[in-house]
Amino acid sequence: MQLRAAAISFAFLTMSAAILACDGGSRGTMPVLPSEDRSASSPSTKIKHVIIVIQENRSFDNFFATFPGADGTTTGQAAAMPGSIANSCPVPITKPTTIPLTEVNLLGKGFPPSYGYTPNQDLDHIYSGFLLDHDQGKMDGFDLEGSGARGSGTPACTYPYQYVNPKDIVPYWDMAQQYVLADHTFQTQGSGSFTSHQDLIAGGTGLSSTEALIDTPSYFPWGCDGNPQHLVTAVIKRGGKVYEYGGPFPCLTYSTMRDLLDAKSVSWKFYAVKVYPYTNCPKCQGAGIWSAFDAIKAVRYSSEWKDNISSPPTNVLTDISNKKLPAVSWITPNGVDSDHPATGSDTGPSWVASIVNAVGQSSYWDSTAIVILWDDWGGFYDHVAPPEPRDWQGGPGFRVPMLIVSPYVKPHVEHTQYEFGSVLRFIEDNWSLGSLGKNDAHSTSIGNAFDFNMKPRAFKVIPSKYPSVFFLRRPPSGLPPDTE
């Protein structure tokens, strides 16, 4: 079920790792185009704070299939299964067909018991899984993928064809009804969490004009704290050839939003679970895999690792209450709060609601935009093919949900085509930062979803199952939340 790489020589691996991890050379450095003025930049809109809340592994149809006015569906296309898969599936698909999406709860329970599926299982959502699901734009290969993040488990069969009962994700639907639901937001790349989180801080993962990271490092942690022997998959533009674990050690030198923000003295923080170096705590090395700046050498090995990377994620709640919220924030969750399949937890919607409520009930409300999105499709069915033309790095990827919460938006479904770079583009424009020149440069800013001529709307509390005190009092799990 996975692409298999050509053999890569030990010398090539060593050279790749050395160039990025050891000598701090220029390989992988992309142009940064800010103004030379390093004085603090004032926002050009009423927004003084942007918070990016990053959840995990849900397609748009999986969460908002039945949302009024949105481009959702409750049926899906499935390709004919080869015998090796059909013989293992409780519902074999013997010819291309349309099948209904099964309504399930957030934990994946809802398929008839006779189907034999294990509820809440993970699904294939790496680059090879994307190609399988996408099927050259036909969007009918989801029944052919495997279970497990790398599709190496038993066939997933029709399990990816599901959508979550709105009653199980009420806070998300409440936000969508009150604010903005963007129903044509696409991942920057068709891949899993590592590249998605990099895309949300860097606008892309190009190392040069011919090489880019397209998949997850081979082991934890995903960054400078990882084992140097664990390398990253790279795609080579020459013929589009994929080398599995043939890329450099993931301690990278390309430019990120950090460079643009620092150049203009705009404050920022990345809230995430603590990263445990590979030499310590073998049982919890995966706990910090969504800490994207761990893979950025200039942050990991500077004072910014202490000053700008904040653990645990609940620190954002105390920063809000203590009036220490920076201008730009990224928030990744404790694994059990992530909405990721296979966690066995239903706390994700409440976790996000706790952030929104904290802002809404504070003095920050009138000057803040909260963007909530899911990093990749997680292997779940979605009926909308990514737009063409696709770039050589493997993007755009599939649709994911995106919510925009702010006192300066009117309730609506926004049909504009957005990519992850659209969020970065808004930040760049709002603080006159310049551009990273990657996905941000050609993405439409989310700014068109706002109306800055309107008076700020009064905030209404988002009801949720678990209050914010639940998250503040609960100790971090310290467990790996994911493998992709």
Q: First CA to last CA across the chain, in angstroms?
A: 16
Task: Identify the pLDDT of residue 287.
Answer: 87
Task: Identify the pLDDT of residue 329.
Answer: 98
Q: Between the CA atoms of 398, 296, 257 and 40, what dihedral angle is there, to the nearest 10 degrees? A: 160
How distant is the alpha carbon of residue 453 from its chain centre? 31
Task: Identify the pLDDT of residue 26.
Answer: 31
Q: Residues 6 or more apart from 327 whose CB is under 8 A from it?
A: 43, 48, 49, 50, 261, 266, 267, 268, 431
Cβ distance 92 to 325 under 8 Å? no
* 3-state SS class at 185: strand
The first and second tokens of residue 363, run together, are 């003095």
In the chain, what is the greatest distance between 2 CA atoms, to the nearest angstrom? 65
Q: pTM to 2 decimals?
A: 0.91
Beta bridge mates, 402: 182, 373
User: Comparing C-alpha atoms, which of 339, 444, 369, 364 is closest to residue 122?
Assistant: 339
The full set of domains in the chain, from first to last, is 10-60+167-473 (3.40.720.10)
Task: Split the chain (484 residues) into runs of 10 and give each run's mean pLDDT.
Answer: 34 35 36 50 96 98 98 98 92 95 95 81 92 96 91 90 98 98 97 96 93 90 90 79 88 98 98 91 86 98 98 97 98 95 93 98 98 98 94 90 98 98 98 97 97 98 98 80 57
Q: Residues 6 or more apart from 262 whose CB is under 8 A from it?
A: none
How distant is the alpha carbon of residue 172 from its chain centre? 16
CA–CA distance, 163 with 314 (Å, rounded to integer): 29
User: Comparing C-alpha atoms, which of 40, 30, 31 is closest to residue 261?
Assistant: 40
Task: Identify the pLDDT of residue 14.
Answer: 36
Tokens 């430019």 appear where? Answer: 255
AA letter at 88: S
Task: Identify the pLDDT of residue 284.
Answer: 84
Q: Residues 6 or more apart from 14 whose CB is under 8 A from it?
A: none
Q: Where are the alpha helices (DSSP H) in 224-283?
A: 257-263
